[in-house]
A and B are shown apart, each in its own frame.
Chain A
């Protein structure tokens, strides 16, 4: 298979079809917009009855809390696709090339490195573990990528790397929460919730914040990583599933066709209109609008979630197999969703926790297989977005919740059956592309063995501040008043990483 040839063909096809589809979509959205606008005209206030006012920079005043809103300043990115590798992949086998670590392979870890450090599983004095992959520089930018990601290495010039990311948490649950809500304990809104709270969404027939999972499990921290915390629940991520209803209860019961459902909703809304006439409660009008949206969503969601109708070359490009739950399918879905105006698409792929307790968890076996699973689809996603002209305005982020140690894991102070690395907070790699990211930059540097950042260290709050900046927000001003104090995604930290924007 020649991925470059496929990409070129795809581009041809795209050019032929874009005009017609674009026209149709704009028309439909336009008509829907008018109808909704007139229905809601003249009403003020937020639909949530206890929600606190939005930040002054964000216009409210629509009864629909998901109505599109302008950010603080002109945005470079209009939407986000976030690819989270749950379990935390090893940066030392993918992007952070450490030839020195080779030389130390199998030698005991120097005590000076271990002093005062806490690890999840490493006990006593572990051995160093040299990189298990072969590294080369790629593209104009000369980015280091290992042979675990052969496809991805061809698109590195679209990408910027943060090589000295660090976090505060070394257990999966808290670290994932920190990564997605800016706080290691539960109760805070996820970044997708913040973004839809700030920007609303462009397609009211689809949820504004969609979550797709693969790898057979949901992330360790549970659904809170896409929860809305103290924000109104309308901003929480909606999990679209590969099996059963893509969104819970989206399908009509069998034996109740679309026409009958339409008639049912017409009857409900006719009675509700009467109720409004006698009680005058604006919430009743909002409910009428929600039932119309629900009806439209029932068509729009299954349509966008159906990848069967995608042309063959697209399936080849991504490596998709319709009907399966896979990261590849989710990458293709992510593209379809952002194309349809979904604001934030969050992918979680589970199974990256390479401790070395089994072949599946081995750096040189299971981990390598996981890399194979994502290499082609994530590369395809970047190429596909680019050829459709979507990459400029779509921010793509890839990463885990922390990094892995340069030491070999020695759980319970004994040798492991396979090669593995423990959880590590001090250094890991995240890459970003599109949506105003300066391409081809590698920012941040770790020491000779990849244990700690020694320059250009960036925190989770910094990453969030930068993402919000690209979306047009001053992260210190995107706030929500809760229990008497203003909250924000970046809590009390966060600095723009200007080297990559």
Chain B
């Protein structure tokens, strides 16, 4: 008997082996989907970018097949039996068996690796680093809509065919379409971030046209509120804030950038242009004001004003942040991992970090207190004055000269900051910010290129009478280039001084004198200096007058916005590798270049930030369009087609919807010419989007996280949306757009930061009720109710807000005066139905808030609350009086108003109110 079993087993195994063998012949092992995940899971933490134990690394092809410390390569192509890479997986000796000190690989995993080696160990790139040329839509061959049970019609979007195909993998199908009211609310919240009004709901319900839904989609996409809603998303990526961050966290004037983003979304600016203008608008030919403002994207980096900080350290930190943010925002790549060593998992090399860094390392900003360079946003009268100077100047100046005068007027660049000075004798850099030299003190400015620059500009403050300054070349006693009085001033001012002409590169020595002040006092506090050619046209009788106008303009303080300005060649920095990521330890010098694994640098593109931006939005870039598509999808559906949103590479989850992602990415670039509105329209028109979000037991069991999109999205609204929606349904919302950020109600004592005199001053009038995107954003102390609802503090780029569900959120919408006031105004709307019409009032309030009809059981619970509250306020005059003050009523409310307000308070705390479904 036993023998028999043995025989059968042998036969069984043989049959099995044949079966497996024949299967194998059909399909070779795929490196990217089968081998790489095993390597990443078990091998790469010791044989990767950081550790290369035994001299063996599996991160890059050339390393994987190179000789290891043993002198032999670990992998012999086509010969698993003699590859130590395979042998070591099954050793008995725990000292030898890999993975070392960890559980052995499963038999299946070993089999995959063995077959891969035997088949020739063909290396492949990860799917994320190659975009297919086209993706066929999986439409059934002999179509007929009847197959889909949709009443014979085809799907409204190709998206649906892809989703439908994946449904098949798990035996699921589309959920029924959501109720019309629910769908309209979903659409409004997604496209403009605000709920529909009761009138809009009524009109939609009664609209019997076939394309009634599409008409709504188009009109919402055309609404100015579209830009506000989608800018909210982008500003998290841009880490936009109204303060500088770090210790002092002073106020930063950069709201023009926020307005630029809103306008760009509203104008449906193609995403490639949107990208290029933000990354390199300043390098475009004759950039417009808007193109310069766009570059504030990368001036949202933090600025450290703390006393005793090294500006270079925080300039480097800002440049690294720009680089990391760029890779994160456009390429879903965790490039910061490569700062200290080659990437642990993804095919990026250590040096490649610094080659990319070199593209960003040549801007004029240097972490200075003044946040230069800033674009000066002159008013109309000032602009007229500028135009008149330029017109006059154009008679004498070359176009290059004109351009440099124009740059100086609009940005005060290029200039040298006080911290450029070294070898200070009898003086210091006050608060590590301003050059404060005492009587007789000297400072050096190293290697200044003077060719043709015979005018010196000095920006300073705090100068007592009698101050003078000398500029000498070569040494403190060298050739005198200028010797001039420093006019007395307390406030900051710019003066222009002629300098003797000298060509070439020189060390300049600045000597400050004022014998009338005390020895400890500084002659002046210098913020910056600039060397420029004198204005042309000295022969013109109007010259002095024009020159005075010019200097006067420099002394204006118009509103401004920090922007990017590239270093002129004589101020260019060389980029070095930082050994182990330490900015103080310079390794070899590198030239700008993009990582090898990605698309080639576009032919003919300039090798600077502009070229880099063009590389990012090249249609050959495998990551940019996929990244945008994935993140827009996540905004609508609560999760991306590939997760996590911050990492499209070897560490992403196996992509269920890769074909759809690729198809959408190709469509977005080629079919839609990068237009975001067109892409969003495609997404919201889809049958997939319009599904009901009801979750039944089957769905919970088969797909709890909705990875297959067999139901509609249902998730909590974002921080700004919760505020906006409450203001909207209470009728308080202001539709005012743009301008400086506002300060709605915030409890006393929330801002307590060190050294900064900044204060939260509640805005007046309608500014209290603006959309959340206009709320003042201070990094070290963000608006409390936003943070509670998971908004970012905008210190670093955030691609994916985590959604939490906490008691502090409940306390906010229950008790924050902003929400109490909204409750009162909604309550008042409910009361307008009449004193005796309690049920009608409640129903009305519910409809205004939820845009759907009120179920009987819910009505009962809300009516009970009304009655309880009414009884309470009727019996309690003191409480009613307190209600009037706490809910900030505009006129004294009676018990009925108070009771309706309590019900309204409940309404804006309902799960269905806080949730998009």
Contact = CB atoms under 8 A, between A and B. Distances in A.
A279 B714 contact: yes
B566 interface: no
A216 to B, nearest CB: 8
Interface stretch (A18-26, A90-98, A242-250, A339-347): A242-250
A14 interface: no
Contacts of B788: 233, 248
A271 B862 CA distance: 8
Interface in B277-323: 302, 304, 306-310, 317
A280 B696 contact: yes
A312 B885 CA distance: 37
A5 interface: no
Contacts of A249: 747, 785, 808, 811-812, 814-816
For B307, B696, B881, B911, the residue with the greatest tally of chain A CB atoms inside 10 Å of its CB is B911
B7 interface: no
B651 A484 contact: yes
A275 B309 contact: no
B749 interface: yes
B831 to A, nearest CB: 17
Contacts of B449: none
B753 to A, nearest CB: 6
A173 B802 contact: no
A254 interface: yes
Contact of A173 (B246, B810, B903): B246
Nearest to A252: B815
B779 interface: yes
Contacts of A173: 246-247, 304, 306
B695 A281 contact: yes
A236 B334 CA distance: 24
B651 to A, nearest CB: 3
Contacts of B795: 186-187, 224
A264 B885 contact: no
A119 B714 CA distance: 54
Interface in B420-465: 424, 427-430, 432, 436
Interface in A261-283: 261, 263-264, 266-268, 270-272, 274-276, 278-283
B807 A294 contact: yes
B295 to A, nearest CB: 23
B796 A218 contact: no
Contacts of B858: 270-271, 274-275
Contact of A233 (B650, B750, B790, B800): B790
Interface in A439-472: none
Contacts of A271: 858, 861-862, 906, 910-912
A370 interface: no
A4 B345 CA distance: 60
A485 B749 contact: no
B886 A224 contact: no
Interface in B317-350: 317, 328, 334, 337, 344-345
Contact of A483 (B638, B646, B806, B855): B646
Nearest to B310: A118
B771 interface: no
B652 A253 contact: no
A73 interface: no
Nearest to B700: A280
Nearest to A217: B754
For B780, B782, B807, the residue with the greatest tally of chain A CB atoms inside 10 Å of its CB is B807
Contacts of B652: 484
Contacts of B902: 256, 260, 264
Interface in B775-820: 779-782, 784-785, 787-788, 790, 793, 795-796, 800, 802-812, 814-817, 820
Given A251-B815, A280-B695, A267 B906 contact: yes
A132 interface: no
A187 B906 CA distance: 35
A221 B146 CA distance: 63
Contacts of A251: 815
B694 interface: yes
Given A220-B247, A484-B651, A47 B869 contact: no
Contacts of B144: none
B238 to A, nearest CB: 15
B716 A263 contact: no
Contact of A186 (B302, B697, B748, B754): B302
Contact of B910 (A52, A170, A268): A268
A387 interface: no
B156 to A, nearest CB: 24
Interface stretch (A77-85, A135-143, A285-293, A427-435): A285-293
B868 interface: yes
B509 interface: no
Contacts of B878: 255
Interface string A36-51: 0000000011011111
For B697, B715, B753, B806, the residue with the greatest tally of chain A CB atoms inside 10 Å of its CB is B806
A471 B761 CA distance: 44
Contacts of B784: 248
B747 A233 contact: no
Interface string B139-171: 000000000000000000000000000000000
B872 A294 contact: no
B245 A186 contact: yes
Nearest to A47: B805
A251 to B, nearest CB: 7
B640 to A, nearest CB: 10
A259 B447 CA distance: 76
A222 B790 contact: no
B114 interface: no
A297 interface: yes
Contacts of A293: 807, 810
A234 B753 contact: no
Contact of B647 (A118, A279, A483): A483
A304 B419 CA distance: 51
A288 B816 CA distance: 19
A55 B881 CA distance: 53
B909 A484 contact: no
A111 interface: no
Interface string B877-898: 0111111111100000000001
Interface string A52-75: 100000000000010000000000
Contact of B820 (A216, A253, A482): A253
Given A290-B809, A485-B345, A244 B780 contact: no
A230 B902 CA distance: 36
A245 B747 contact: yes
B693 interface: yes
B804 A233 contact: yes
A412 interface: yes
A120 interface: yes
A297 B811 contact: yes
Contacts of B868: 260, 263
A366 to B, nearest CB: 16
Contacts of A411: 428
Given A48-B804, A244-B747, A256 B306 contact: no
Contact of B787 (A219, A233, A276): A233
Nearest to A168: B582
B806 A170 contact: no
B688 interface: no
Contacts of A247: 808, 811
Given A172-B306, A244-B747, A484-B652, A267 B864 contact: yes
15 contacts: A44-B704, A120-B307, A121-B307, A218-B754, A232-B802, A249-B811, A253-B820, A255-B881, A257-B872, A263-B869, A268-B906, A274-B858, A279-B917, A283-B715, A290-B806
Given A50-B644, A233-B788, A255-B879, 12 more contacts: A224-B793, A227-B793, A238-B808, A250-B815, A263-B868, A264-B909, A266-B861, A284-B911, A297-B811, A484-B646, A484-B647, A484-B649
Q: Closest 8 CB pairs between A and B?
A: A222-B780, A120-B308, A255-B882, A484-B651, A412-B428, A484-B647, A255-B883, A294-B810
